[in-house]
Amino acid sequence: MKMRAHTINGGKAEGEAVVYNGPFSFLGDLDPATGKVPVPRHPLEGKSLANKVFVFTTGKGSSGGDFAAWAAKKNGNAPAAIICLESEPVLSGSVIVTGIPAVDRPEGNIFELIKSGDYVKVDATEGLIEISTK
C-alpha cells in the first residue's frame, strides 16, 4: 500500500516499522549508545529504534534533540527513516542536520495502517510511503 506525505528532509530508506502513538525526543527517548528507548515505564522501553522506520506523532522535549540525534547517527543507532503526524522545529532540525529521511502530514491514518513489524519504504524526497504488511 502506498501513501503520500509532506517532505521534512529528503532521501530514501526502508526497514521494519516501530509504531508509537505518542511524541518523541531524540534526547532522553533514545540512548545513542545502544539505539534503545531507555525511558522507565515507556511503552517502547528497551526496544531498539536503530535502523528502523520510526512512526510517531510529533517531536517534544529539549532543544538538545538535535545533538542527541547527531550522536545516535554517528553510532549507527539512529532510525533509518521517520514518519510522523506533524513535525516541529527541533525534530525537523534534527533530521535535516543528521540527514535522516523524514516525512510528516501523511494522507492516511498511519496508526491504523502501519503496525510495528511491517516493512516500510520511505522516499522522503518524493513524499512517498510504501507499506508491506507483516
Partner 1 sequence: MLLTDEEKRMIDGAYGPGTKRAMELLVKYGESFDAEKFASISYGHISYDFCPEEFWDLMTERVSRTQHRVTTHPSYSPEVWKQWGLPLADNWAGEHQRKLKRFLELGWLRTETCAEYLLGITPRKGDIVSMGGSCMQVANNSLFGARVDRMGILISLAAAVCGRTPLMGLLLPENRYASHLVELDDLDVTNWTLSHYHCLGYYIGDQIPGFKPVAVNGLPPNVPFDFARALVISMPTSGAVTLAHIVGTTPEASTLEEALGSKKPEHVLRVGKREMKKTWEKLNVWDSDVVEHVAFGCPHATIDEIGRIANHLEGKKLKTSMLIGASAPVEALARRQGWADIIEKAGGHFQSVCPSITNPFTRRDIAGEKQAKSAATNSARCAHYLATVCRVKVFFGTEEECVKAAITGKWKGELPK
Measured at the CA of 67, the angle between CA 66 and CA 70, to 5 degrees, comes to 90
**Any contact of residue 70 with partner 1 (CB under 8 A)?**
yes
Q: Name the strands in the sheet holding 102-104, side by side, starting at the edge strand that comes first in the sequence.
A: 2-4, 128-132, 119-123, 12-19, 53-56, 81-84, 102-104, 6-9
Partners of 130 in the beta sheet? 2, 121
**Any contact of residue 88 with partner 1 (CB under 8 A)?**
yes
Tell me whether residue 62 is one of the annotated catalytic residues: yes
Candidate residues 21, 63, 125, 132; the one interacting with partner 1 per rule CB under 8 A: 63
Phi, psi at 16, each rounded to 5°: -75, 140
**Any contact of residue 99 with partner 1 (CB under 8 A)?**
no
- Which of 101, 91, 100 lies closest to 122, judged by CA? 101
**Any contact of residue 101 with partner 1 (CB under 8 A)?**
no
**Any contact of residue 77 with partner 1 (CB under 8 A)?**
no
Candidate residues 44, 66, 80, 120; the one interacting with partner 1 per rule CB under 8 A: 66
- Cite the active site residues: 62
Residues forming the site for partner 1 (CB under 8 A) = 7-9, 23, 27-29, 38-41, 57-67, 70-71, 74, 86-90, 92-94, 96-97
